[in-house]
Amino acid sequence: MKYDYKQLHSNQDGGQYPFTVKGYKNDGYPSTSVCAGMTRIDFIDSYETEQEAIDANPELVTDGEVSWGCAFLDKDLKDVSHIPDESDSWM
Quote the CA–CA distance of 45 and 56 in Å, as a whole number: 9
Spatial separation of the C-alpha atoms in residues 68 and 54, rounded to whole Å: 11
Residue that wins the pLDDT comparison between 60 and 75: 60
- Taking 90 as the threshold, does the pLDDT of residue 28 lie above it? yes
**Domain limits, the chain:** 5-78
d(CA 26, CA 41): 9
Minimum mean pLDDT range among 7-11, 36-40, 71-75: 71-75
> How far apart (Å, rounded) are the C-alpha atoms in residues 27 and 13?
31
Asked if 36 and 30 count as a contact pair (C-beta separation under 8 A), the reply is yes
Closest CA to 9 of 36, 47, 65, 64: 47
